[in-house]
């Protein structure tokens, strides 16, 4: 049992209920000076049923004062209705306005998709229902970037994190201690979002994503031209291109890239491009509403042309595969991104046996999903309906990441700018996270034993990390 007594205000306690040495079910607890804050409430995309939840049984949920959601991705937000409706949690919940707007569409889709999955007769509880979602939704408090919220002495501010629309980093102050939680973040401006900001103050503790570890990305322009050259060569040989992607977020960036290429290449314009997502139309309105939170180039297009940059001239939106006439070369952007089930999986199974076709993985794939496995080019893939049925895979498999997580270069530059004293690594599989830790330790080796020493931690799920602080703090009140 790892339920922890309230700390005396001089020791920071950090516990990852999820996202410790893994990517998925992001959920971290920080306790200091009698306050308890939860960061994110995600699900794990590779696990089913209750197993996709963070390890909520290992923590007394009734003690949480504040829950901050970094962004709308399922691995950061999808267990929120469960936390609010089915546990003893009674704290306040905050997220940015665009996150809240998109969260609603995504989660009702999540409910719909998870209730299709056949359930065993012993009445397995679905994680949450539509009415759980409705009932909890109004209690979520939307916040603006750059405005500081004070909840009984805990102050926090959201900063732009890049990554996806609405994504926030949280700068948190409690009892004289300053923390920065990056969430998922990107330091490279892309077609629609600005790079993550560097908050004006240095935190004592940085809770930092480590998805790509020590890997270094190609510049965005190079990735875009690689992607387009693969797509055009597949079309030239009469093949179909499948781009599995999560319906909202990075999909919009891909759509901008593809649409732009079609616009400037007349010869390819008779090849159809489809976006198979029943969220696409709803998403369009949200993306239109929040162009003001995107980068200058999008804002300019929106102002000057009076047009919605997310209305794509060369991309047909498909509500379902029933209305799709599969005849000849095409490009299909379809969800889900990790090929677990749904439209992208169905098309993969249909197209995998033909060697003219290609599947291009552009997102981050979590361990245990087909998107992760297919990159190693297996000769067969399991059928979604019956995993004992194997489908030959002759189609080409490529991976070009548009995942919008920092690489080593950007992550370590950001850390230098932020100047934390302690770094807690989260949101990374063990090996890349371990490599990142070693790289940072050797980078800061010369500071060891000095005042500027930087301590780095990579705790596993439910491991209790205690960091003592001598930082100035208000008078200690026992028993809060």
CA distance 82 to 375: 33
- What tokens appear for 315 in the block? 């991309």
Q: Is residue 40 part of the contact set for Zn ion (CB under 5 A)?
A: no
Of the candidate residues 281, 316, 460, 476, the single one contacting other proteins (CB under 8 A): 460
Among 35, 44, 73, 192, binds Zn ion (CB under 5 A): 73
Instruction: Please list, in sequence order, all residues whose beta carbon lies within 8 angstroms of the beta carbon of residue 75, skipping any fewer than 6 positions away.
Output: 19, 23, 24, 25, 26, 42, 43, 44, 45, 366
For the segment 51-70, give every residue that binds other proteins (CB under 8 A).
Answer: 51, 55-59, 61
Contact 229, 221 (CB under 8 A): no
CB of 122 to other proteins, least distance (A): 4
Q: How far is CA 468 from CA 172, 182, 453, in A?
A: 17, 22, 15
62 vs 431 by CB, closer to Zn ion: 431
Q: Which of residues 180-209 bind Zn ion (CB under 5 A)?
A: 184
Select from 96, 75, 76 the least CA-distant residue to 156. Answer: 96
Interface residues for other proteins in 73-112 (CB under 8 A)? Answer: 86-88
- With CB under 8 A as the contact rule, which of the stretches 48-56, 260-268, 419-427, 470-478 interacts with other proteins? 48-56
Q: Work out how close the CB of 141 gets to Zn ion at its nearest, in angstroms, rounded to a whole number.
A: 21
Residue 97 among the catalytic residues: no
Distance in Å, CB of 48 to other proteins, minimum: 5
Cα 352 versus chain centre, distance: 27
Stretch that binds other proteins, among 197-205, 206-214, 308-316, 457-465 (CB under 8 A): 457-465
Name which of other proteins, Zn ion, none residue 63 binds, using a CB cut-off of 5 to 8 Å depending on partner kind: none
- By CB under 5 A, tell whether 75 contacts Zn ion: yes
Catalytic residue among 405, 410, 422, 427: 405
Closest CA to 420 of 390, 444, 397: 444
Asked if 166 contacts 97 with a C-beta cutoff of 8 angstroms, the reply is: yes
8 Å CB contact between 140 and 94: yes
Q: Would you say 43 or 234 has its CB closer to Zn ion? A: 43
132 binds, among other proteins, Zn ion, none (CB under 5 to 8 A by kind): none
For the bound state, the minimum distance from the C-beta of residue 53 to other proteins, rounded and expressed in Å, comes to 8
Q: What's the min distance (Å) between Cβ of 45 and other proteins?
A: 13
Only one residue has tokens 């794990």, namely: 44
What tokens were used for 19? 């996202």
Per the CB < 8 A criterion, the answer to whether 327 and 338 are in contact is no
CA 77 to CA 106: how far, in whole Å? 10
Minimum distance from residue 35 beta carbon to other proteins (Å): 20
Kindly indicate which of the ranges 29-37, 72-80, 186-194, 220-228 contains the residues binding Zn ion, using the contact rule CB under 5 A: 72-80
Q: Which stretch binds Zn ion (CB under 5 A): 33-41, 65-73, 314-322, 347-355?
A: 65-73
The C-alpha torsion from 80 through 105 and 338 to 19, rounded to 10°, is -20
Q: Which is nearer to Zn ion, 76 or 240 (CB)?
A: 76
Touching other proteins, residues 115-134 (CB under 8 A): 119-120, 122-125
Binding mask 171-200 for other proteins (x = CB under 8 A): ------------------------------
**26 Ramachandran zone, left/alpha/beta (phi>0; psi -120 to 50):** beta
For the chain, the straight-line distance linking the first and the last C-alpha, in angstroms and rounded, comes to 23
- Asked if 132 touches Zn ion (CB under 5 A), the answer is no
75 binds, among other proteins, Zn ion, none (CB under 5 to 8 A by kind): Zn ion
Which of other proteins, Zn ion, none does residue 73 bind to, with CB < 5 to 8 Å depending on kind? Answer: Zn ion
| Eight-class DSSP state of 266 | G
Q: What is the x/- site pattern for other proteins, positions 5-44, by CB under 8 A? A: ----------------x-----------------------
CA dihedral of 37, 169, 367, 255, whole degrees rounded to 10: 140
Q: 272 to 301, contacts with other proteins by CB under 8 A?
A: none
Give least dist CB 10 to Zn ion, A: 32
Please name the residues in contact with 219: beta carbons below 8 A apart, sequence gap of 6 or more. 188
Q: How many residues does the chain have?
A: 480
Nearer to Zn ion (CB atom), residue 75 or residue 349? 75
Give the residue from 43, 36, 30 showing the smallest Cα distance to 76. 43
Q: Which of 302, 242, 313, 316 is nearest to 274 (CA)?
A: 316
Q: CB 3 → other proteins: shortest distance, Å?
A: 9
* Residues catalogued as catalytic: 405
Interface residue list for other proteins (CB under 8 A): 1-2, 21, 47-51, 55-59, 61, 86-88, 119-120, 122-125, 430, 460-462
Interface residue list for Zn ion (CB under 5 A): 73, 75, 184
């Amino acid at each position: 049992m790892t339920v922890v007594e309230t700390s005396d205000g001089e020791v920071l306690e950090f516990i990852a209920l999820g996202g410790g040495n893994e990517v998925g079910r992001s959920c971290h607890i920080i306790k200091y000076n009698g306050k308890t804050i939860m960061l994110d409430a995600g699900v794990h995309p590779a696990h089913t049923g209750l197993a996709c939840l963070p390890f909520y049984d290992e923590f007394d949920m009734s003690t949480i004062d504040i829950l901050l959601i970094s962004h709308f991705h399922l691995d950061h937000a999808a267990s929120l209705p469960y936390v609010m409706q089915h546990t003893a949690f009674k704290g306040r919940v905050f997220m940015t306005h665009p996150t809240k707007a998109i969260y609603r569409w995504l989660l009702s889709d999540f409910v719909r998709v998870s209730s299709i999955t056949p359930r065993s007769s012993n009445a397995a509880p679905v994680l949450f229902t539509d009415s759980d979602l409705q009932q909890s939704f109004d209690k979520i408090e939307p916040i603006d970037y750059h405005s500081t919220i004070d909840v009984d002495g805990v102050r926090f501010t959201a900063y732009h994190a890049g990554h996806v629309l609405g994504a926030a980093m949280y700068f948190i102050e409690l009892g004289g201690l300053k923390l920065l939680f990056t969430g998922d973040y990107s330091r490279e401006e892309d077609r629609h979002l600005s790079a993550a900001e560097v908050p004006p103050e240095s935190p004592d503790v940085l809770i930092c994503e480590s998805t790509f570890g020590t890997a270094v990305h190609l510049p965005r322009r190079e990735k875009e031209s690689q992607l387009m050259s693969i797509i055009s060569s597949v079309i030239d040989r009469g093949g179909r291109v499948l781009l599995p992607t999560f319906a909202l977020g990075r999909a919009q960036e891909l759509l901008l890239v593809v649409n732009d290429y079609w616009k400037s290449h007349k010869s390819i314009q008779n090849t159809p491009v489809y976006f198979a997502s029943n969220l696409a139309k709803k998403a369009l309105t949200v993306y239109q509403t929040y162009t003001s939170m995107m980068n200058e180039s999008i804002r300019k297009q929106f102002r000057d042309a009076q047009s919605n940059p997310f209305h794509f001239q060369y991309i047909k939106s498909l509500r379902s595969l029933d209305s799709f006439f599969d005849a000849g070369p095409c490009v299909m952007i379809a969800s889900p991104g990790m090929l677990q089930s749904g439209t992208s999986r169905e098309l993969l199974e249909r197209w995998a046996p033909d060697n003219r076709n290609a599947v291009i993985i552009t997102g981050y794939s979590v361990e245990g999903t087909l998107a992760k496995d297919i990159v190693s080019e297996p000769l067969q893939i399991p059928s979604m309906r019956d995993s004992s049925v194997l489908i030959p895979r002759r189609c080409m498999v490529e991976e070009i990441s548009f995942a919008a997580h920092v690489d080593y270069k950007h992550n370590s530059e950001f850390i230098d700018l932020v100047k934390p004293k302690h770094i807690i690594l989260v949101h990374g599989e063990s090996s890349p996270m371990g490599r990142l830790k070693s790289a940072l330790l050797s980078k800061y080796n010369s500071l060891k034993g000095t005042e500027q020493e930087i301590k780095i931690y990579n705790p596993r799920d439910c491991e209790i990390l205690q960091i003592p602080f001598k930082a100035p703090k208000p008078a200690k009140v026992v028993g809060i």
